[in-house]
Structure 1
Amino acid sequence: MTLHPFDAAGEFDRQVRTLIDRDHHRAAGLGEEEFAALLAPLRPAALEHATTSPGEGRAPFVLVLTREVVPVEEAIARTTLHGKKKPGVIDRNYADDDIVKFVPTKEVELPDARAYLLHGIERGEEFCGAVPNDAMDAIAARGRTLLTIEEGIALVTQFPAVLAKNKCFSLGGSRCGDRRVPAIWISQNAPKLGWCWAGNPHTWLGMASATGRTH
C-alpha cells in the first residue's frame, strides 16, 4: 500500500469545491452536480500521484479544465492573489484573437480534451533570470513537461500563494508559432496572464513544469 504524506482525498475534494465556489461550473454551463461528476473520475489518479505534500512553489497535483469547458478569459478572471480579492486579467498586449492561437505544443499530450490531472508541479523559480529558451531545454532534459496556459491558471486558482513577488512563471507548454512565451505574473495586486519573448530573461520570471498528466 502506498502511504501519502497528506490527505490526498481531502485535497481533491477541496479543489473541486474551490472550482465550484469560484463559479467555474457556471462558466462551463453546468450544474454543480454535473460539474462534480465531470471531475470525479480523476480522484483515483489524484490519490496515486500525490507523493508529496504542497509546499512553497510546488503542488502534488491540480485539477485542470481546458478551454473547451471554461474559456481562458473566464478562468483567469476567477483567480486572485493569496489574501487578495482583485480578479486576474489578460494583458492588453494580447490582441483580440491571440489567446486562441496559443495551443499546447507538439511535446504536450493532453490526456483529455475537457478535464484532467496535472501532477508533480513546480513553479520553477530556479529559472528566474534565465533565458526562457534555455530554461525550456533544461526542463525537457529532465524529462519534465512545460505547463500550458490553462494549467498555469489552474495552479494559481488552487494555490494562489504560488504566485509571489519575484517568483512568477512562464508557461512554455502553450505556444502560437512565434517567439512569444505565455507567463503569469503579478500586476496591480492581481494575477496577469501575459507573454514574454523566448530569448529575453527576466529576474522575476521562472519556468513552470510538471511530472506529467493523467486522466
Structure 2
Amino acid sequence: MPESTQLDHSIAQQIRRLSERGIAELAGLTGHEFRMLAKDTLASAAEASSDERTATVVVHPSLVPAASLAALLERDGKPGFVVEDMTDLEEFRPIGDAPVPDQPLYLVHDIDRGDDMQNWSPDEALAELRTRGRRPLTVTEGISWLLQHPDRLEPGSCFMTIGSRRRTARGLDARTPAIWISGGTGRDGRERRGAPKVGWCWARNRHTWLGFASAAPIVSD
C-alpha cells in the first residue's frame, strides 16, 4: 500500500479536520462543544496509545449516522454518497468480531486496507482475519479513516468493511458494506463518476479490486 500523503495525523489535528468538515454541525453541536466532547471522550484512549501515528479517530454512528458521514468524503472535488438500494445502511451494525466502544468518538489503531486479500469473499476474509488476530473494520470506521486519509481509496484498490452486518429474522443479511470509487454508471449518474461510494457486495462473492480493511483489536480501558 502506498504511503499516505504526509499530513499531520495527530489526534488533535484529526479532531480539527473533522470539525472543519462539518462534523459538529451534523452532530447538532457547536465547534467548541465538539472539541470538548472529543477531549473528554478521547483523553484516556490517547494517553494509553503507544503510537499516536497509528490512531484514527472514529465518529460513532450515534453521533453522526453513516450515510451523513459518507457525504463528507471527497475525491477530485466530488462528495461521497451511499448507493440508492442501501437505504437501510443504519441497520448495519457491528458484528461480534468488531466490538465498538459505547462513546461518540473512539480510536482504532493500525488500519490496513487488506490488499493481500483482494479476490477473496467476505466469508473467507473474515475467517482469515480471525486467524491473524485482526479486527474487521465497520463501515463507519472505514468512512472515518478515509476522512483522514482520502488517498487510501484508489482505483483498483478499494475495500470492504465486513465488521458491519445487518441482522434479520433468519440470521445475517447476505450483503456486506464496501467503499469504492463510482464509475458513474447506472443509478449513480455520470456526474458522480470518480466519487467515493458506499455500497455493498454479497458475502460469498469475490472482487479483484476490493480488499478487506482491518485494524488491531480495541483494548478496553
Instruction: Pick the TM interval, shorter chain.
Output: 0.7 to 0.9
1:166 aligns with 2:166: no
SS in 2 for 1:212: coil
Match of 2:106 among 102, 116, 119: 116
- Deviation larger for 21-30 or 34-43: 34-43
Counterpart residue type for residue 31 of structure 1: T
The Cα of 1:50 is off from its aligned counterpart by: 5.1
Residue 214 of structure 2 corresponds to which residue in structure 1? Answer: 209
- Deviation larger for 111-120 or 38-47: 38-47
Residue 45 of structure 1 corresponds to which residue in structure 2? Answer: 45
- For 1:13 and 1:52, the matched residues in 2 are separated by 10
Residue 91 of structure 1 corresponds to which residue in structure 2? Answer: 83
Aligned length: 199
Residue 13 of structure 2 corresponds to which residue in structure 1? Answer: 14
Question: What TM-score do the two structures reach when normalised by structure 1?
Answer: 0.86
Structure 1 residues 137-176: Cα deviation after superposition (integer angstroms, max 9, x where no partner): 1011111111111101100111000111111000011001
Residue 35 of structure 1 corresponds to which residue in structure 2? Answer: 34
Match of 1:194 among 195, 199, 205: 199
The Cα of 1:44 is off from its aligned counterpart by: 4.8
Residue 65 of structure 2 corresponds to which residue in structure 1? Answer: 71
The Cα of 1:47 is off from its aligned counterpart by: 5.5
Residue 3 of structure 1 corresponds to which residue in structure 2? Answer: none
1:116 and 1:213 in contact (8 A); partners too: no
Unaligned runs of 5+ in 2: 1-7, 167-171, 183-192
Unaligned runs of 5+ in 1: 1-8, 54-59
Question: What TM-score do the two structures reach when normalised by structure 2?
Answer: 0.83
1:101 aligns with 2:91: yes
- For 2:195 and 2:9, the matched residues in 1 are separated by 28
Paired-residue identity, %: 38
SS in 2 for 1:123: coil
1:64 and 1:116 in contact (8 A); partners too: yes
Residue 189 of structure 2 corresponds to which residue in structure 1? Answer: none
1:152 and 1:171 in contact (8 A); partners too: yes
